[in-house]
Amino acid sequence: MRKSIILLLIYALLLAAATLIEKYISTDAAKTFIYYSPVTILLLIGIVASFIAVVVKRRLWGKYKWSFLFIHGALIVILSGAFVTHIWGEEGIVHIREGQSTNLMLIRTNDGDEFKKLPFNIELKEFILTYYPGSSSPSSFESILIIHENGRSTEKSVSVNNVLDIRGYRFFQSSYDMDKKGTILTVNKDIPGRQIIYMGYFLLIIGFILFLTSKNSRIRQLIRSLSGLTVVLLLFVGCTTAPPAANHRLSHSGHVEFLKENKIDSEQAKKFGALAIQSPDGRIKPVNTFSSEVLRKLHKSDKIWGMNSDQFLLSVLTYPEIWKQMPVIHLSNKHIGTYLEMKIKNDFSYTEFFDSDGNYKLQKKIEEIYYKSPSERSKFEKDLLKLDEQIFLFHQLLHFDMSNILSDTDNRINPNKIKAELLYNKLNIFRLCKMIYLIFGGILLILTVISLFIEYKLIRRIIPILSLFILIGLLYHVFGIGLRWYIAGYAPWSNSYETMVFVSLISVLAGIIFYRQSKIVFALAVLFGGVILFVAGLNWMDPQISSLVPVLKSPWLMFHVAIIMISYGFFGINFLLGLTNLILLKLNKKKTNEIISLRIRELSIINEISLWIGLSFLTVGTFLGAIWANESWGRYWGWDPKETWALITIIAYTAVTHLAFINKKENPRWLNIGSVIAFFCVLMTYFGVNYFLSGMHSY
């Protein structure tokens, strides 16, 4: 078991190194030196061999170990299927122009490009690119094909998330020519490999179901071992609140006074905010939503000089020449001001980004950045692009080149959705949930700690009341997610903001699972949920509801992302429990306090239960994503940085959970250290990949 863990960790380190090689050298180099290298293949064989050795040595084929055998056996089956696919599978590209036909598939290898003949001809009758109504944002794209085979012609179609199967070959809508007169299809032939891999996925899911439900599984043993224990926790809570930012001293005091004196009436602004507008991505929404998004993007705030977002937008449209002089555009990177040789401050006016001749100061640098691939751009350059977006957005407002405001009679408008979105904006649901979780969760944590040392009947009565308020907040949280789902028309976990809101919900729900065993675990989970909502509400997070890109318009989005986000909620609890136990271990270093030792043991058991639950969901969710990838792009795994770090996270938590089977005396310490360290893999997968690496998952 120890050797298995060591081999897994070595594999994880190699994968992490590969993502850096891919960023700084090339994808081909990462594949050659790590992903498909002989050393890596031997390492995987060693991991499989060590698993088989554990099974034989510990005689794990008994009736009570079925879940263990199913899960680990499934991984061997999946690796076997991947090997079959790698050796015998065929993958290529077919490029056809409208009115033309071909029977050639382009296969790209390390040795160069080669063509292979298909047993039929494909003709592109028509390529159809569909936009969201009234916008230039693609909703879907589809190829109408004519298949010529044995003197017969059959019309077929292939589109994003809709695969075309012909004689064992699978065609996927990959891309298209810029003039929209040609299509690019990914082709895959891998019948035996696909069947083996899908069988492995099926066995894996069965194994985890047995693991979570079997009476004699590890997780059920841990739950039973909790009985009879009383939870005690000694935790120092420090609550710090950032001081409010000082009011910006304006140099344009005359303009400010003019705007205040001519401030748009709030009732008129409210009526204006209730109008329907169509954004560039095609989504129809209230002006209130649009104005809120604009003000947050420009000024990183919900209000400016006493005006709400609707008043601000109307004022800009009414007095554009004055607003050009106002310091509205917020700089997130102070080095940009130095680069532009401008006075160091936080907010700048539109005119400050143009020289005396009216030339845009960023023009040359922005063009240079766009010539680079996304993976080659530095953080400074990415911040420059964000600033360019802010300036361009404000330019559109100043020149009345904004999204189309629709009339009430437009048949594309759903008045119920417009009303629902206005209600959603007004209620500010997740901000209220954040306050409930932070305030009541914090009070609950303090009281539960006090009750461990001093027995007060009043505290015992207050705790259920606080829990009731938290439950109300949780139900309100669920209502908010449901309302956002109705407004957007899809499961609201398609971007960073939405997934953080969902993880916060799961964290609190996970705390409720452990409510009877430990009120402190519940309090920590609620606080963690509040912290996540706090981060989601920061200025750099984008809460905008937008139209889905074509590849995300799939039922797999709901299952794949939701299951993985559930695992992140449990891992967050693991992180907090690990920190708590490490503090207690430090306080009880000489193991003289028997009560603290008992509490460490109990919290460690809860920590391990949560680890197993999180690992189960993460593994299943990741492999569901592989199925989605195969059904959308024709491959299960492309070593995209997000995919790679998801695998690293699985390996990290696998190593942590399996520590329970070795060095049992030291297990509490190493289990808790591992649960803290492994959480950084979650942070890298969730945040780090998006900001430091690049790939297909950067939607």
Average pLDDT over residues 647-667: 81
Neighbours of 117 (CB within 10 A): 10
Counting every residue, how long is the chain?
699
Q: pLDDT per residue over 430-458, tens digit each?
A: 999 999 999 999 999 888 877 766 767 88
Pairing assessment for the beta strands 164-166 and 152-159 based on DSSP bridges? unpaired
Strand partners, 91: 188
Nearest to 313 by CA among 249, 250, 263, 261: 263
**pLDDT tens string 38-62:** 999 899 899 889 888 887 887 766 6
Longest dimension (CA), the chain: 89
Q: How far apart are CA 68 and CA 660, in angstroms?
A: 14
Residue 415's pLDDT band (boundaries 50, 70, 90)? confident
> Which string of DSSP letters, residue by residue, matches 550-567?
GGG-STHHHHHHHHHHHH
Kindly report, residue by residue over 573-612, the tens digit of the pLDDT. 999 999 988 888 887 777 766 777 777 888 888 899 999 9
Long-range pairs of 396-401 with CB within 8 A, sequence gap ≥ 24:
397/294, 397/313, 397/316, 397/317, 397/320, 398/316, 398/320, 398/323, 398/324, 398/350, 399/320, 400/317, 400/320
Whether the per-residue pLDDT at 250 is higher than 50: the answer is: no
Q: What is the pLDDT of residues 280-321, one digit of tens each?
A: 667 788 989 989 988 988 988 888 888 999 999 989 888 888
Rounded distance between C-alpha atoms, residue 577 and residue 600, angstroms: 10
Among candidate residues 336, 419, 415, the one with its CA nearest the CA of residue 381: 336
How do strand 164-166 and strand 169-176 relate by DSSP bridges?
antiparallel
**Average pLDDT, stretch 137-145?**
84
Neighbours of 376 (CB within 10 A): 12
* Measured distance CA(304)–CA(282) in Å, rounded: 28
User: What digits encode the pLDDT tens for the residues 226-245?
Assistant: 654 433 333 332 333 333 33
pLDDT over threshold 90, residue 414 = no
**Does residue 249 carry a pLDDT above 50?**
no
**Which ranges in 229-342 belong to alpha helices (H)?**
253-261, 266-273, 287-299, 309-318, 320-323, 334-339
Region of poorest pLDDT, from 237-241, 351-355, 391-395, 412-416: 237-241
Please say whether the beta carbons of 134 and 149 come within 8 A.
no
